Structure 1
Amino acid sequence: MNHPLRLRAFRLLFVGRTLSALGDAVVPAALALAVLRVTGSTSALALVLGCALVPKLLFLPLGGVVADRFDARRVALTTDLVRGAAQLFVGLELLGADPTLTHIAAASAVTGVASAFAMPTASPLVAGTVDGPARQQANALMGVASSATRLGGPALAGLLIWTAGPGWAFILDGASFAASAALLTMIRVRRTPIERRSLRADLAEGWTEVRSRDWYWTSLLAHAAWNGGAAVLVTLGPAVAVDQLGGEGVWVLMLEAGAVGLLLGSLLAGRARLRRPILVANVGLATYAIPLVLLAVAAPAPAIIVSYGLALAALGFLNPVWETVVQTEMPPHALARVTSYDWLLSLAAMPVGYALAPLGASLWSAETPLVAAAVIVALACLGTAAVPGVRRIGNPPSKAAASPTTTAVPQPDPERSPDQDPVAAGRDI
């Protein structure tokens, strides 16, 4: 089996995604500080974040249709240019004398729309550049790169913010998108042309592929529950750490342990060859209930930090395994649409967690929503073991979905990752 990085197309894709992921890892801290400097208001920061999230949720299904219809490479290239221009605009706005919140919020909305079209292209790009057994290793490499940028991104963000100002973090992110777009112009990506039909028919076909596979839609429900639980943890965890566990340093160590865990899990996924990959990965996700419960009872900080690192290692393992199985089992012509529904369900659960966590804490205590989230995560993830399709996938190795002859996009012979929350980014799930 050839190593994926020996394939020129994947190598260029990998470099581009890694550069843009590093740029994205710098932005969250820069955005928070920039908005607070401009307005002094946490409500303003919530507005800017909402301007990015809401359009993303609204346009994700359409993004999947467009990626399947018009070639994932071209869609990714276009959205890289749009997002790069938006980030450069914000950077220049912040470097100016009088930055305006309205301009920053509008640019965030543009970025959110572009992300909705970009995110469904990630899986087709890997599937279109790497074949067969090498795909899991390729997906694991993508996961390793994403995890590594999360380790280095905050440090780079701090260096830029305190030496040159937050505007330069956005300039860097814009430049990383430009580099990714340039690399995409130099690759070929196999694609399966689809019959042109109405938008409604295309959306319906993608949904049919999702609901016709019990292993897929039940796993999506479990992954959505995981993301909802992660939103509860990231909302209440900092306050618990500061008030009961010893201060901000405990929370920072938790996030660093999570980043290390993601990296180690991704590395393990590149080597693992499991008979029941989805079953093992979903059951592993249930370990996220452990740090939720330990936070609820204010357990000793070292126990919480270690448990969080192990839980995120399970996520790091799941992401490449999941992507590989989906790329194998789903019809190539519907892969982007299926992926868009995946993202939609995963992201939609997070605002619910953000909203309910502080409400539950105010009505009762932080312990109640944390324990409730732990129970939901454990039941949803462990419950997938009762689904026949989850137990069957990979045992024996299931045949790839019917795969029509693919055609290469006519490009010169001479190939970025979904943005994510620092705790639950991507797929993370």
Structure 2
Amino acid sequence: MNFRLLWLGYTLSAFGDFVVPAALALAVVRATGSASALALVLACASVPRLVLLPIGGVLADRWSPRTVAIVADVVRAVVQLVIGVELVSGAFRLTDIAVASAIAGAASAFALPTGGPLVTATVPTARRPRANGLLGVSRGAAGVLGPAVGGTLVLTIGPGWAFLVDAATFVVSGIALSLVRVRFAPESRAAPLPLVSSLVEGWSELRRHDWLWTSLIAHGTWNLSAAVLATLGPLVAVHRAGGEAVWVAVAQAGAIGLLLGSLLATRVGAPGRFGIRPRRPVLWANLSLSLYAVPLALFAVPASAPWLVVTYGLALATLGFLNPVWESVVQQHVAPAKLARVNSWDMLISFAAMPLGYALAPVASSALGGDTVPLLVAAVLVAVAMTGTLFAPGVRNLTLRTDGGAGMPPITEPTPATDPAAVGRPRTATPETVGR
């Protein structure tokens, strides 16, 4: 029941998050007709998220991840409600949208690092690969259905209703989290440290694992190249590969690929003949991510539309498989008391390069007289970065135990809290409710 509630909250909020982007973009474009205005709103959401991620990890490790996650859900629910009411009423003020986006982005910086600790607190070690796979499936399904629902809402009753739907998902998510009761493993209770010392401690834990920091550099490079394709790919599809329908097909193939890869990840550690027990999960995951170089190179040519669609879908399937497996590996091999901080550094390193890719891609395309060279360079970067992780001994040797014999200590069954006021304090021996 604990994980079911966790899954429910995660699924609903993920769905809401995929409903909103299309509505936000259309609302801004309809009201202003300005790409610069849209860029401003998107930057207001992404910059606070990146800047505050490490602090969010500190708070999730210092206090109850359940408390941090619920507060973040409440903040985001209120923000989306305000935007939705404003848009439904027919009013549109760019300043309000930008400020609200910044607040929502900041709240997500505190929510994101709580995911790992909450999975380890609700799911036994042996079942975490499958649990992470199911969460990945939920996100993949939301990525397929959310934009379709968001587009339908925008075209029928207006973009404001998409934000109201998102607000409702955060409300339900917060309620679901409040109903989950578990006891944290004893090792996960860390004494509070000063902020800077906590950040440094999390960074030191990350650097202690060569498989972790080398893979994160490669993942950051992958995301930089993905940003290049996201910027130049639509132009290639529209002007050189057959039109707007080609890019729509590519994007949809990517969403389906993510979903299928996540479904495959649910078989990691599963019993029976169809179970997957990877002996070297980080090794094979990084090698599979190098396949993203193929659609990058084919867009540079460009190849015919079917090749672009198929190769992009397959490349995103490898990402859908990697994400849950990676989360399971990190949860199993990183010290529980430092897991949220490592998660926050992980996300920061992985995603910080994306804005750079968005900015550099059009500049490089203009300076070099076309899209071919930037896309080819991105393809080479992906291939070199992902295969280069093989030089790290940890990448070659790390294993993922799926029999419950390694990793974190087992989680005990929940018992009634003896001190209700202890909920939300720095972690003690008292059981408390937790969730996504």
CA separation in 2, counterparts of 1:211 and 1:359? 34
**Matches for 1:20-419 after TM superposition, within 5 Å:** 20-191=13-184, 192-271=188-267, 272-364=276-368, 365-394=370-399, 400=406, 410-411=431-432, 415=435
Q: 1:410: how far off?
A: 3.7
Moved over 4 A (4+): 395-409
Contact 1:329/1:399 (<8 A) preserved: no
Equivalent position amino acid for 1:237 in 2: G
Counterpart of 1:218, as a letter, is T
Secondary structure of 1:128 counterpart: helix
CA distance 1:189–1:45, shift in 2 (3 Å): farther
Give the letter aligned to residue 315 of structure 1: L
SS of residue paired to 1:281: helix
CA apart distance, 1:374: 0.6
Q: Structure 2 counterpart of 1:199, which letter?
A: L
Q: 1:115 to 1:215 in 2, by over 3 A?
A: same
Quote how far apart the aligned CAs of 1:405 are. 8.2
Offset at residue 71 of structure 1 (A): 1.0
The answer to whether the 8 Å contact 2:69/2:435 transfers is no
Seen in structure 2, the aligned counterparts of structure 1 residues 133 and 408 have a Cα distance that, compared at 3 Å, is farther
Please say if residues 332 and 403 of structure 1, whose CA atoms lie closer than 8 Å, have aligned partners that are also in contact.
no
The aligned amino acid for 1:20 is: S
CA drift of 1:402 comes to 6.9
Alpha-carbon distance between aligned partners in 1 of 2:262 and 2:4, rounded to the nearest angstrom: 18
Percent of residue pairs identical? 56
Judged with a 3 Å threshold, the aligned counterparts in structure 2 of structure 1 residues 55 and 409 are, in CA distance, closer, same or farther, namely farther
Structure 1: stretches of 5+ with no match in the other structure: 1-7, 417-429
Contact 2:65 2:435 in 1 (8 A): no
Question: 2:292–2:379: 8 Å Cα contact kept in structure 1?
Answer: yes
TM-score, scaled relative to structure 1: 0.92
Deviations 1:25-47 (A, max 9, x none): 11110000001112111100000
Preserved CA contact (<8 Å) 1:189 1:409: no
Aligned residues: 408
Q: Any idea what the Cα deviations from partners look like across 1:207-261, whole Å, max 9, x if unmatched?
A: 0001111000000001001100110000000000000111111011111111111
Residue identity in the other structure for 1:274: P
Residues of 2 paired with 1:190 and 1:357: CA distance? 48
| Amino acid aligned to 2:309 | I
The answer to whether the 8 A contact 1:222-1:381 is kept is yes
Partners of 1:137 and 1:270 within 8 A in 2: yes
The residue type paired with residue 91 of structure 1 is G
Judged with a 3 Å threshold, the aligned counterparts in structure 2 of structure 1 residues 189 and 360 are, in CA distance, closer, same or farther, namely farther
SS in 2 for 1:246: coil
What is the DSSP-based 3-state SS (H/G/I as helix, E as strand, rest coil) of the residue aligned with 1:273? Answer: coil
Q: Which residue of 2 aligns with 1:419?
A: none
* 1:270-311 CA-partner distances (Å, limit 9, x unpaired): 112100000000000000000000000010110111000100
Deviation readout 1:320-374 (Å, 9 max, x if unpaired): 1100000000011100000000010112110010011001100111111111111
Amino acid at match of 1:187: V
Aligned with 2:122: secondary structure?
Answer: coil
Structure 2 Cα separation of the partners of residues 214 and 49 of structure 1? 34
Report the Cα offset of residue 110 of structure 1: 0.2
CA RMSD of aligned residues (A): 1.8
Instruction: Provide the rounded CA distance (Å) in 1 between the counterparts of 2:142 and 2:82.
Output: 23
- 1:396 deviation in Å? 8.2
- For residues 283 and 351 of structure 2, the distance between their equivalents in structure 1, rounded to whole angstroms, comes to 22
Could you say what secondary structure the match of 1:197 adopts?
coil
Q: CA deviation at 1:117?
A: 0.4
CA distance in 1, matches of 2:411, 2:279: 28
Q: Please give the secondary structure, in 1, of the residue aligned with 2:352.
A: helix
Counterpart of 2:417 in structure 1 is none
Deviation at 1:200, TM superposition (A): 1.2
Q: 1:352 to 1:189 in 2, by over 3 A?
A: farther
Q: Is 2:5 aligned against 1:12?
A: yes
Q: Distance in 2 between matches of 1:312 and 1:239?
A: 20
> Deviation of residue 111 (structure 1)?
0.5
| Distance in 1 of aligned mates of 2:409 and 2:260 | 33
Residue 39 to residue 197, structure 1, CA distance change in 2 (3 Å): same
Q: CA 1:346 to 1:25, structure 2 compared with 1: closer, same or farther past 3 Å? A: same
Q: Where does residue 423 of structure 2 map in the other structure?
A: none
Greater CA drift, 363-372 or 181-190: 181-190
Aligned-residue offset at 1:190: 3.5
One-letter code aligned to 2:380: V
Please, what TM-score do these two structures have when normalized by structure 2?
0.90
